[in-house]
């Protein structure tokens, strides 16, 4: 009885719908057809979400941070950049009402998706994804396995095309199946190529960030997208030119930006940050998956020995050094001064230093760019020779250059770490005499540059009869007097040096003297245990 009443209630509930469908007077034929189709559609099929694509930013700002583990004298390697950048983009899009997907095309391939922040959406973000499986020969082969393609052969008699199916992946030979059987592409006579009818799903020509939205109404909004991306770096590159007086030098410096990413940033507001920024996840962890190169092999004939590429002309591939160092060697291009070049502006950023490029500039993909950082003239410097000593041992004699980073001494500004090229005038030319580097130097710090090894100044240590006594003899073969320093930096923790005329500098004992032209200087010193009594 209860079951019959339940069935009767379901029948009563459906009667209104049945009457509405059967009543031609209440519904026209088109409306009736639309309702029938809607009822016939599977319940699980939902209308596809609209997609809004933003091809590129209207404006972009890029702030580059240095790789924390790269030394000041390590060159930038575009294939292995371990710094990162903060990218901020502005885009204007029209979002529809309801759920939709917004695609930010042309973002950095090294983007860290978890760092992405999208502001300006009235109803927020439901989900975000980075589509970084880029269109490349390797991924094209990998995604087309088992799919129809066209095999094109260029023979002496003409070009022949035939349908085929790709039966091998991107690792090894390209095996295709035709009506005549299996063939290996590019392994027969003539030139062969594989034509793909379409781009496989999931491949994108450029990195894209997708976000899911759910808007209460259609709106045209201006969005700001900010994110961190790996594959960037920067450094300062210095050029010091000694003046004929030997006591002053002109100091010029570039900010060198390096972008190892696949994305270019046109007309970007560009900044670099000097100093060490604490990060807990220094491993890149990027979702960028760079496809390996596609190498198709044949095994039907002996391998042909590769022919070495011709040597590139000297100084062909340098960016920084083209206008700074190598052009000076050729004596054909001079360094531009700040009267007609753009100079980065220094600003404070807490304990860090920020250098802002005062005009928009394009940071190209896989490239470097240089902007003037400083240009100072007649900076007082000291040229001296130095050995670092221990108990009976000395390293090679080095030519050193020292300056004081003080305003009254021609500098007085933070100096980021980077390599230094030192030039000296010779007649009408400037010749490279050495290359060194400096670490990060704050205002009022002392700056020392290890320029080169000395060939005309030599140090010799001899052990005397008495235990622990040594004699240092320094010979100057130059026709001019020199300033010389011996630093006792190679002693063990339990050892102490004793000698007349020693000074204390930076925690070490130092002997400072002037050696005449073609002359010698001698120091007798004793090395004892730190706990020994006089």
As a whole-number percent, the residues of the chain with pLDDT over 70 amount to: 71
Classify residue 432 by burial, with Cβ atoms within 10 Å: 0-12, 13-18, 19+.
middle
Quick check: 534 pLDDT over 60?
Answer: no
pLDDT at position 449:
95
Contact 267, 361 (CB under 8 A): yes
pLDDT at position 47:
57
> Whole-angstrom Cα distance, residue 296 to residue 80?
26
Taking the CA of residue 311 as centre, how many other CA atoms within 13 Å lie in the half-sphere pointing to its CB? 3
Taking the CA of residue 149 as centre, how many other CA atoms within 13 Å lie in the half-sphere pointing to its CB? 25
Pairing assessment for the beta strands 59-65 and 265-274 based on DSSP bridges: parallel
Average pLDDT along the chain: 78
Quick check: 338 pLDDT over 60?
Answer: no
Give the model's confidence band at 447: pLDDT under 50 very low, under 70 low, under 90 confident, else very high. very high
Tokens 């807490």, residue located = 350
Tokens of 262: 């696949």
pLDDT at position 190:
55
Q: Which distant-in-sequence residues (6+ apart) come within 8 Å of 226 by Cβ?
A: 86, 87, 88, 89, 116, 117, 119
Give the model's confidence band at 481: pLDDT under 50 very low, under 70 low, under 90 confident, else very high. very high
Give the model's confidence band at 474: pLDDT under 50 very low, under 70 low, under 90 confident, else very high. very high
Give the model's confidence band at 323: pLDDT under 50 very low, under 70 low, under 90 confident, else very high. very low
Among 6-15, 173-182, 224-233, 361-370, the minimum mean pLDDT is found in 6-15
> Whole-angstrom Cα distance, residue 130 to residue 225?
13
Quick check: 157 pLDDT over 60?
Answer: yes
The residue-averaged pLDDT of 177-191 equals 71
pLDDT at position 346:
85
Q: What is the pLDDT of residues 79-131, one digit of tens each?
A: 889 999 999 999 999 999 999 989 899 899 888 888 889 998 887 777 766 66
Give the model's confidence band at 23: pLDDT under 50 very low, under 70 low, under 90 confident, else very high. very low
Between the two ends of the chain, the Cα-to-Cα distance in Å is: 118
User: For residue 120, what are the CA distances in angstroms to 267, 303, 420?
Assistant: 23, 59, 45
Query: Residue 111 gets which letter from DSSP?
Result: B
Quick check: 266 pLDDT over 60?
Answer: yes
Contact 246, 383 (CB under 8 A): yes
Question: Which phi-psi region, left, alpha or beta, contains residue 267 (left: φ > 0; alpha: ψ -120 to 50)?
Answer: left
pLDDT at position 63:
96
Query: Residue 228 gets which letter from DSSP?
Result: E
pLDDT at position 403:
97
> Whole-angstrom Cα distance, residue 118 to residue 211?
9
Query: Residue 13 gets which letter from DSSP?
Result: H
Q: 457-529: which CATH number, 2.60.40.1180, 3.40.50.880, 3.40.50.10790, 3.40.50.300?
A: 2.60.40.1180
Give the model's confidence band at 353: pLDDT under 50 very low, under 70 low, under 90 confident, else very high. confident
pLDDT at position 297:
53
pLDDT at position 293:
59
> Whole-angstrom Cα distance, residue 411 to residue 55?
46
Q: What is the pLDDT of residues 33-79, one digit of tens each?
A: 555 455 555 544 445 678 898 999 999 999 999 998 888 878 899 98
pLDDT at position 321:
31
Q: What is the pLDDT of residues 485-500, one digit of tens each?
A: 999 988 877 788 899 9
Give the residues across from 295 on adjacent strands: 171
Q: What is the pLDDT of residues 138-152, one digit of tens each?
A: 566 666 677 788 888
Quick check: 300 pLDDT over 60?
Answer: no
Give the model's confidence band at 364: pLDDT under 50 very low, under 70 low, under 90 confident, else very high. very high
pTM of the shown model: 0.67
Give the model's confidence band at 194: pLDDT under 50 very low, under 70 low, under 90 confident, else very high. confident
pLDDT at position 325:
31
Dihedral, CA atoms, 91, 94, 98, 99, nearest 10 degrees?
-40
Domain range summary for the chain, segments of one domain joined by +: 137-195, 457-529
pLDDT at position 476:
97
């Amino acid at each position: 009885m209860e079951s019959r009443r339940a069935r009767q209630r379901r029948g009563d509930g459906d009667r209104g719908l049945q009457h509405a469908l059967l009543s031609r007077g209440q519904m026209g034929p088109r409306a009736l057809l639309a309702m029938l189709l809607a009822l016939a559609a599977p319940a699980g099929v939902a209308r596809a979400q609209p997609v809004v694509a933003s091809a590129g930013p209207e404006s972009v700002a890029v702030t580059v941070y240095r790789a924390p583990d790269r030394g000041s004298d390590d060159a930038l390697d575009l294939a292995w950049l371990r710094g990162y950048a903060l990218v901020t983009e502005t885009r204007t899009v029209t979002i529809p009402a309801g759920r939709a997907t917004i695609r930010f095309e042309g973002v950095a391939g090294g983007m860290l998706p978890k760092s992405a922040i999208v502001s300006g959406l009235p109803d927020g973000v439901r989900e975000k994804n980075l589509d970084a499986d880029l269109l490349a020969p390797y991924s094209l082969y990998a995604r087309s396995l088992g799919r129809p393609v066209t095999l094109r052969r260029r023979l002496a008699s003409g070009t022949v095309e035939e349908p085929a199916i790709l039966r091998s992946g991107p690792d090894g030979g390209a095996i295709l199946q035709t009506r005549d059987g299996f063939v290996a592409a590019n392994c027969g006579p003539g030139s062969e190529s594989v034509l793909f009818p379409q781009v496989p799903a999931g491949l994108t020509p450029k990195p894209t960030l997708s976000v899911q939205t759910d808007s209460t109404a259609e709106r045209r909004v201006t969005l700001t997208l900010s994110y961190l991306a790996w594959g960037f770096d920067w450094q300062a590159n210095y050029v010091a030119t000694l003046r004929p007086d030997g006591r002053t030098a002109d100091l010029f410096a570039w900010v060198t930006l390096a972008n190892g990413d696949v994305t270019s940033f046109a007309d970007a507001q560009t900044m670099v940050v000097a100093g060490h920024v604490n990060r807990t996840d220094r491993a890149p962890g990027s979702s960028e998956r760079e496809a390996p190169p596609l190498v198709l092999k044949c095994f039907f004939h002996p391998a042909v020995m590769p022919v070495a590429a011709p040597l590139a002309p000297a100084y062909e591939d340098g960016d920084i050094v083209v206008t700074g160092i190598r052009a000076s060697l050729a004596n054909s291009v001079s360094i531009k001064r700040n009267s007609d070049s753009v100079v980065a502006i220094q600003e404070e950023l807490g304990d860090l230093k920020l250098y802002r490029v005062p005009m928009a500039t394009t940071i190209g993909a896989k490239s470097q760019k240089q902007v003037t950082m400083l240009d100072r003239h007649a900076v007082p410097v000291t040229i001296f020779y130095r050995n670092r000593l221990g108990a009976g041992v000395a390293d090679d004699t080095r030519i050193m250059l020292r300056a004081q980073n003080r305003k009254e001494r021609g500098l007085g500004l933070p100096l980021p770490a980077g390599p230094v090229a030192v030039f000296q005038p010779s007649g009408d030319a400037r010749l490279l005499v050495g290359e060194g580097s400096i670490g990060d130097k704050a205002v009022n710090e002392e700056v020392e540059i290890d320029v080169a090894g000395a060939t005309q100044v030599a140090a010799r240590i001899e052990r005397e009869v008495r235990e622990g006594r040594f004699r240092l003899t320094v010979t100057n073969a130059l026709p001019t007097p020199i300033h010389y320093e011996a630093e006792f930096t190679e002693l063990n923790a339990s050892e102490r040096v004793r000698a007349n005329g020693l000074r204390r500098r930076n925690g070490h004992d130092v002997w400072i003297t002037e050696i005449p032209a073609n002359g010698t200087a001698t120091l007798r010193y004793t090395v004892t245990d730190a706990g020994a009594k006089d």
